[in-house]
Amino acid sequence: MTSIPLPSLRRLPRYLNVLENFQSQGRDTVSATDIADELDLKPIQIRKDMAFTGIVGKPKVGYNIFDLISAIRKFIGWSKETNAVLVGAGSLGTALLGYEGFSRRNLKIVAAFDSNTEKQGRTVYQTRVYSMDMLESIVREHNVKMAIITVPPPSAQTVTDALVRAGILGIWNFSPAEIQAPPEVVVKREDLSEGLAVLFVHMQEKQLQTGEA
């Protein structure tokens, strides 16, 4: 089994955005160069990345946009609906419950959970908030395999353990805590401070370059 390299995988959703944009403009075909120009990348990179989805462009014609969109969505697993649960209905959890980008990618958050009794029973952007007691039964009832964690760091591991017991196989961890899960569970960390560090260091480098020029 050959895995797609991480940088290529990260670019696929950006291609999808660009392709959907072209499609909404009424276009049927697109060249690797068109996509490259839009994203400030090189056409050869686009061709290599697209090949992972099984789609190869035709010389002088390019890619059929509809086919390419379908292939990327299918490759990532976004062509069918996926149920997820979210634990931690604080400010970040609330923002994610209201994030429109998820439904575009067929991600459906079927239930949210919070240990705060004042939040339980409420509906946040059409998703109901339940007590943690209900986690396992709801996860099993909806055959949920994916969970989003937006709890404070001290609760992250306890929540992870509960999710694993309930049969969750993929955890998207927005808490800055490092969590431990069994090998069969995929954990994807999402830490805003990483992006912030990248921006800060690149700003410093740019200022040094400008100063030197």
Question: At closest approach, how far in Å is the CB of 175 from its own copies?
Answer: 10
Contact at 8 Å (CB) between 29 and 62? Answer: yes
Question: At closest approach, how far in Å is the CB of 92 from its own copies?
Answer: 5
Question: At closest approach, how far in Å is the CB of 94 from its own copies?
Answer: 6
Beta-carbon neighbour count of residue 104 at 10 Å?
12
| Helix axes of 43-51 and 6-24: crossing angle, nearest 10 degrees | 100
Between 132 and 169, name the residue whose CB sits nearer to its own copies.
Answer: 169
Q: Is 3 helix (H, G, I), strand (E, B) or coil?
A: coil
Residue 175 backbone dihedrals phi, psi, to 5 degrees: -80, 140
Between 97 and 162, name the residue whose CB sits nearer to its own copies.
Answer: 97
What's the CA gap between 48 and 56, in Å, rounded?
A: 9
Between 51 and 196, name the residue whose CB sits nearer to its own copies.
Answer: 196
Residues whose CB falls within 8 Å of the CB of residue 139, separated by 6 or more in sequence, listed in order: 85, 147, 163, 166, 167, 168
Between 128 and 189, name the residue whose CB sits nearer to its own copies.
Answer: 189
Between 104 and 140, name the residue whose CB sits nearer to its own copies.
Answer: 104
Q: Is 32 helix (H, G, I), strand (E, B) or coil?
A: helix
What single letter denotes the amino acid at residue 42? K
Question: At closest approach, how far in Å is the CB of 42 from its own copies?
Answer: 16
Question: At closest approach, how far in Å is the CB of 198 from its own copies?
Answer: 6
Tokens of 136: 């396992």
Phi-psi region of 147 (alpha: psi -120 to 50; beta: other; left: phi over 0): beta
Contact at 8 Å (CB) between 79 and 106? Answer: yes
The binding site for its own copies (CB under 8 A) comprises 1, 3-4, 6, 9-10, 12-14, 16-18, 38-39, 75-78, 82, 91-92, 94-96, 98-99, 101-102, 105, 107, 125, 145-146, 169-170, 172, 176, 178, 184, 186, 188, 190-210, 212
Question: At closest approach, how far in Å is the CB of 86 from its own copies?
Answer: 13
What's the CA gap between 20 and 1, in Å, rounded?
A: 30
Between 106 and 131, name the residue whose CB sits nearer to its own copies.
Answer: 106
